[in-house]
Amino acid sequence: MNACKSLVALLLPLLLPVAANAQLLPTRRIPAEAASQAVAEAVASCTKQGYNETAVLVDADGVRQAVLRGDRAGSHTLDSAFDKAYTAASFKADTTALYERAKTAPGFSNLFTQLPHLILLGGGIVIKVGDEVVGAIGAAGAPGANLDDACARAGLEKIQAQLK
């Protein structure tokens, strides 16, 4: 028994660094400057079309990283744009795709009435580097989810080449 304890005491310090390293996950973050550019482009894209838009960019965990409320955008668009971005990041899917899925998957839409910040409206676009979701951008304020989608996509396209 003492031999086992001695062996464990001898090997434990060798195993701890391996165990500690195995628990860490590498993460990628969208730089603040790129996040700011994305929301600015999303708002500008909608403004050119005559829409009063708000854009919010979140990281992969759904935490706000950049927010821009366009001129004359309603105060409700701050929450709507965040909820769209949060939903896209959380489900790792564009919100329009989630909306379509809810039409055919029984019970799926119930999640959106039970959990905070989830919304079944287009306008939330996932941001990926390769296959890894690194964030999402949400847009709200245009008179239609397809228009919000287009504005959010414009924001993503502005920074896509910078993300590597």
Enumerate the domain spans of the chain.
28-162
Choose which CATH entry (3.40.50.620, 3.30.450.150, 3.90.650.10, 1.10.357.10) describes domain 28-162: 3.30.450.150
How far, in Å, CA of 83 to CA of 149, rounded?
14
Does residue 139 register a pLDDT over 60?
Answer: yes
How many CA atoms, within 13 angstroms, populate the side-chain half-sphere of residue 132? 13
pLDDT of residue 22: 75
- pLDDT per position as a tens digit, 2-59: 655 654 556 556 655 555 567 888 889 999 999 999 999 999 999 999 999 999 999 9
Does residue 114 register a pLDDT over 60?
Answer: yes
Alpha-carbon dihedral 77, 82, 88, 91, rounded to 10 degrees = -130
